[in-house]
Amino acid sequence: MYNSKIAGLGFYVPENVVTNDDLSKVMDTNDEWIQERTGIKERRHVIKDTETTTSMGVEAAKKAIERAGIDKDEIDFIVFATLSPDYYFPGPGVLVQRDLQLKRTVGALDVRNQCSGFVYGISVADQYIKSGMYKNVLVIGSELHSRGLDMTTRGRGVSVIFGDGAGAAVLTREEDTSKGILSTHLHSEGQHAEELSLIAPGMGKRWVLDIIEDNDPDDTSYYPHMNGQFVFKNAVVRFSEVIMEGLTKNNLTPADIDMLIPHQANLRISQFIQNKFRLNDDQVFNNIMKYGNTTAASIPIALTEAWEAGKIKEGDLVVLAAFGSGFTWGSVIIRW
């Protein structure tokens, strides 16, 4: 059996910067209020009709493929994680295959696990490579939140948090099983599904035609809903559990961590986990201050930035961890 390793990384964010002060012009909020609760100073939003979830993913993928040192036609499979696809169907995986002009035989899988999507995607790619089925797998996390947010005072508790962007990784076969992805760990708890959700449009609840027919200005079912305090309390528990699960599986301890890349949901969550595991600032990478929560894109964006800054070196123990809607959560343990 093989291991898989991350051979190339890339990310892309729109040029349009939206600061907390910008948001204060369209809703009752302010920079101090947002930073105190989330740690976010600014985020990126696409300019309408110029970029899509797929196009951002493609730009991140191009960088990852180039840095992996392979030709795009050596990609055997695509895994695309997002909650904000271009279309209701088909998913963006096949659009990436088309826009990158990859060979027609390449498979494409779409992952709908929201904030945990990239971790789930890495786990899928890892298993395909370990089994020998594929050699090179492209994993993308991309989100376009800004078009679907309630940018009024009514929606400020959610809308100030999210930003747009994409990250990508190329996983490839590693002959040395002491290196690369050592293990992945995935979990879910559906009983809390509605605590962080977007109910409509959905075939089982409120479909587009229902929304149009009702034409109700007070209908918020097609905007994201988050029970913030409940999500926070569950996140800090599950983050801790799944990180320890991965470390224990590999006979490691928190002291062995060289770099923790947590999902960028809230700076306060990251700081709580850092303090609990007694990690210093050089052992944890956060960039939510600049980009907000980019859901499935947050880990690959942060991982790429950390690697570009020289904070991840060969032989380092790198831990990825995520928690989000579903609830779903997971971790990835990597020997770089």
- Active-site positions read 115, 263, 293
DSSP state letters, 288-306? HHHH-B-GGGHHHHHHHHH
Q: Could you tell me where the beta strands, DSSP code E, fall in 213-316?
A: 225-226, 259-262
| Helix orientation angle between 298-308 and 117-130, rounded to the nearest 10 degrees | 70
DSSP percent split of the chain into helix, strand, coil, nearest 5: 40, 25, 35
Residue 88 is given by DSSP the state S
Looking at residue 161, its amino acid is I
Reduced to 3 states, what is the DSSP secondary structure of residue 13? coil
User: Which H or E run contains 144?
Assistant: none
Contact between 331 and 245 under an 8 Å Cβ cutoff? The reply is: yes
222: its two tokens: 């097609």
Give the distance, in angstroms, between the CA of residue 192 and the centroid of all CA atoms in the same chain.
Answer: 20
- Tell me the residue length of the chain: 336
Phi, psi of 242 (to 5 degrees): -75, -30
Residue reference for tokens 């928190």: 254
Contact between 46 and 164 under an 8 Å Cβ cutoff? The reply is: yes
Task: Output b/e per residue, 23-51; b: 16+ Cβ within 10 A.
Answer: bbeebebebeebeebbbbbbbbbbeeeeb
